A and B are shown apart, each in its own frame.
Chain A
């Protein structure tokens, strides 16, 4: 059973471009969580999704950021018109139910130049 897979591991974007981060949860996991970790800071919750539904996006910036978890395929975190402040590690975690242990992926390190 493969772990949570995130790709790409590293992503470089110029200011103003779009960044797409992918997360394939563990097999049998239908709950996906996205977190952001700024340099030298703790993890910050962004959004919680179940298949085809956004359950809680209270940690997501109101503009430029969106997330989806379609019926088929990985969850996608999309950042439009990236700015330097978006440079961070973005981690995805998945769990089989709401109250069971979540497993984290290796993260995508986004660098905006």
Chain B
């Protein structure tokens, strides 16, 4: 089976940096995804990691350690519009986009 854990809620200040952690246990692994979801809207793809290391994309970076079953999403220079849920999801071997999602982390950015 698969199990994904991430904090339920986080609060951060505008302009700051926040790190959202995700730990997982899975019998097969084909990559880890991060999605952003504003309330009542569709999840939007942020990043995909399949190899260990850091992937940087503008203000957002994602890190993966397969041996530790651990990932984090790093958001820099926080803006109010970054207030959203951040979803960690994993794909099993040959599963492509049949993803197992964590419960999501609700991030609140305060002025």
Interface residues in chain A, defined as those with a beta carbon under 8 Å from any beta carbon in chain B:
4, 31, 33, 35, 41-45, 48, 56, 91, 93, 95, 97-99, 101-107
Contacts and interface: CB of A to CB of B under 8 A. Distances in A.
Contacts of A42: 87, 101-104
5 contacts: A42-B101, A45-B101, A48-B97, A104-B44, A106-B42
Contacts of A41: 103
Contacts of A31: 96-97
Contact of B96 (A4, A43, A95, A107): A95
Interface residues of chain A: helix, strand, loop or mixed (majority): strand
Interface of B: 35, 41-45, 48, 87, 89, 94, 96-104
A56 B98 contact: yes
A48 to B, nearest CB: 5
B97 A33 contact: yes
A99 B43 CA distance: 18
B101 A98 contact: no
Nearest to A101: B45
B103 A102 contact: no
B92 to A, nearest CB: 10
Nearest to B8: A40
Contacts of A35: 101
B45 A103 contact: yes
B42 A107 contact: yes
Given A106-B41, A107-B42, A101 B48 contact: yes
Contacts of A107: 41-42
Contacts of B102: 42
Contacts of B45: 101-103
Given A42-B87, A101-B48, A91 B98 contact: no
3 shortest interchain CB distances as A-B pairs: A98-B96, A102-B97, A104-B42
Contacts of A44: 101
Nearest to B30: A99
A31 to B, nearest CB: 7
